[in-house]
Amino acid sequence: MKKKDIKILLVDDEQDILEIVGYNLAQEGYQISTAVNGKEAVQKAKKELPHLIIMDVMMPEMDGMEACEQIRKTPELSNVIITFLTARSEDYSQVAGFEAGADDYIAKPIKPKVLVSKVKALLRRLKEQNISSDILTVGNIEINREEYKIIQEGKEIILPRKEFELFYLLASKPGKVFKREEILDKVWGNEVVVGGRTIDVHIRKLREKIGDDFFKTIKGVGYKLEV
């Protein structure tokens, strides 16, 4: 997908933020639209179907948390990438943001060039969403879903089925925080899970076999893969 085809919705009640962020992203070639509160954001998102939404948390009429929750309930927006851009960087605020359905959390203030780089990283997930092949490539790792095979720097790594499926899930959207409930649902489904630390045990084993740096714990929320 070319930059000119990528739609980004900026949501903030501060006009200067919309202008600065919008200008820098428009210079990169993206299509930019704006909203000044959560209510308007939901309306525009449903109408324009953006690929990425960058949204403030504290806004009038409807805050970012509620807007994010409403957007996530809209089927045609299920794959939109949502990140909060806010001065509220406390841990509990980030946890609340992830619980509301956000994919990421960017703290203000942030330099324009850094923000642009962050946006490019977020948009790389679009490629993962459109992959129809059974083979994923993340960093130096190739994951073959059909053969249940992982190749890292030319070396084949054999994983038990559940470890493989957990790794494949995290690798399908690098950088996305997968909540524990979502992991249990997609990897274990209706199977009986013995003990509440099943996911933690599997993550520990993946860290031992693939590398500790790939896996990041989001306390109180879940896990994500970083490459």
Which among 197, 204, 130 is positioned nearest to 163, based on CA atoms?
A: 204
- CB-based contact 221:98 (threshold 8 Å): yes
- DSSP characters for 146-162? TTTEEEETTEEE---HH
Q: What is the spatial distance between Cα 208 and Cα 223, in angstroms, rounded to a whole number?
A: 16
- CB-based contact 140:151 (threshold 8 Å): no
Q: What is the pLDDT of residue 131?
A: 47
Cis ω on the peptide bond leading into residue 160 (within 30° of 0)? no
pLDDT in 10s for each residue of the chain, 227 residues: 678 889 999 999 999 999 999 999 999 999 999 999 999 999 999 999 999 999 999 999 999 999 999 998 887 887 789 999 887 665 556 777 788 888 888 888 888 889 999 899 888 877 655 544 567 888 889 998 878 889 998 899 988 888 998 999 999 889 999 998 889 888 877 655 555 688 999 999 999 999 999 999 998 899 999 88
